[in-house]
């Protein structure tokens, strides 16, 4: 199986569209399309690392170095951080991971609603914190 086929296989397995994968990688949809069609094989190392995290597979699998190695065996955010792929603030707690899993099951319209609700809750929490800080200064 060629590299493009492997990228496509893992992308579909993860339930991602080309556009979703492109957005997560910070590239255009056309780049993903070219990779999957086999037109481009020279991909930046940083992009490969992110892609392997997103698709939960090893570079060896994607680049046909091995038929057997399909994933990192559950490579997680902590390992990614240690490899300097992700900043420390991007390491997720179990609760955050569950939220992401649930969020990914939602259609785009519902995702927008969730984002708006989270923004509302964050602004409420910020307002309450300011109120509490002001109250403690007065005391």
Distance, in Å, from the CA atom of 22 to the CA atom of 63, rounded to the nearest integer, reads 18
In-domain check, residue 85: no
- pLDDT tens sequence across 100-125: 888 889 998 899 999 999 999 999 99
pLDDT at 67: 46
In-domain check, residue 127: no
The total number of structural domains in the chain stands at 1
Using a cut of 0.85, tell me whether the model's pTM lies above it.
Answer: no
- pLDDT tens sequence across 53-70: 888 888 888 877 654 444
Would you place residue 75 in the very low, low, confident or very high pLDDT band (cuts 50, 70, 90)? very low
In-domain check, residue 4: yes
In-domain check, residue 70: yes
Residue recorded with tokens 């259609």: 107
Give the distance from CA 121 to its chain's centroid.
Answer: 23
- Which carries the bigger pLDDT value, residue 125 or residue 73? 125
In-domain check, residue 55: yes
* Weakest-pLDDT range from 22-31, 34-43, 59-68: 59-68
In-domain check, residue 10: yes
Residue recorded with tokens 């969730």: 114
- Which carries the bigger pLDDT value, residue 34 or residue 86? 34
104-134 CB burial, b ≥16 within 10 A, e <16: eeeeeeeeeeeeeeeeeeeeeeeeeeeeeee
In-domain check, residue 20: yes
Give residue 17's domain range: 1-74
**CATH number of domain containing 1:** 1.10.260.40
In-domain check, residue 27: yes
């Amino acid at each position: 199986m060629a590299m493009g086929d492997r990228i496509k296989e893992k992308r579909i397995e993860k339930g991602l569209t080309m556009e979703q994968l492109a957005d997560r990688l910070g590239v255009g949809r056309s780049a993903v399309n070219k990779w999957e069609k086999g037109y481009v094989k020279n991909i930046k190392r940083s992009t490969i690392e992110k892609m392997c995290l997103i698709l939960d597979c090893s570079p060896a699998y994607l680049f046909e170095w091995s038929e057997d190695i399909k994933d990192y065996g559950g490579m997680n955010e902590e390992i990614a951080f240690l490899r300097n792929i992700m900043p420390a603030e991007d390491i997720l707690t179990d609760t955050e991971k569950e939220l992401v899993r649930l969020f990914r099951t939602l259609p785009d319209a519902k995702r927008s609603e969730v984002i708006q609700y989270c923004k509302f809750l964050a602004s409420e929490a910020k307002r309450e914190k300011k109120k509490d800080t002001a109250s403690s200064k007065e005391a």
